[in-house]
Amino acid sequence: MRTRRRRFKSSNRINWSHPVGRRVRMGLAAMALVAVGGAGTAIAISATSDPPAPKYNSLARVADPIGAPGRALGLSRVVIQPGAKIPLHLHQGTQLGYIQKGTLTYTVEAGLAKVMTGPGDDAKLVRPIKAGQTANVKQGQWLIEQPSNHHRAANNGNVPIVILLSNLLLKDAKPSKLLP
């Protein structure tokens, strides 16, 4: 015995007042609210999210190098995402920062920083950045920072900034000391 399959005609309509129709209607309305609400939440989150904090990677470090007892000689790499800001800070020793990629917006609040270009054994001064000044430090340029240099930085561009850092800091010092 064969069972007959029912076929729906295109003229058939859902009876929205029937209990099954009401459940379907409520389910569709709930899905629409979730979809619209979820999209709104995603937009709100992406519009208000802060850029990721700069990523600091220590590549090499030696404490008490010959000629500098009580100090640590370090090499590191920092990546600063677009829109990220580095708050006011100083370094407890001398630091060199080579801009490998991107353009760093650099502001000096106290002291002086020097922007250099060229190889270390034949470097040329591009410009000093004095207290109260802001400058863009471009790819291939490098900074000389001293402990008296209180500064902040930002990535106002569209690509991540990559900085190679070499420093000679106090042995137990962190890479940077935040200032109020």
Q: Is the pTM for the entire model greater than 0.75?
A: no
pLDDT at 7: 58
Confidence band, pLDDT 50/70/90 cuts, at residue 49: low
CA distances from 101 to 74, 78, 107, 119, 151 (A): 20, 11, 19, 16, 20
User: What is the percent of the chain with per-residue pLDDT over 90, rounded to a whole number?
Assistant: 70
Q: Determine contact, residues 115/97, Cβ cutoff 8 Å.
A: no
User: What is the percent of the chain with per-residue pLDDT over 70, rounded to a whole number?
Assistant: 73
pLDDT at 121: 93
pLDDT at 79: 98
Q: What is the DSSP letter of 148?
A: T
The rounded distance, in Å, linking the Cα atoms of 111 and 119 is 25
pLDDT tens column, 57-84 = 999 999 999 999 999 999 999 999 999 9
Q: Determine contact, residues 133/69, Cβ cutoff 8 Å.
A: no
Of residues 45 and 164, more confidence is placed in: 164
The rounded distance, in Å, linking the Cα atoms of 145 and 94 is 6
pLDDT tops 60 at residue 40 = no
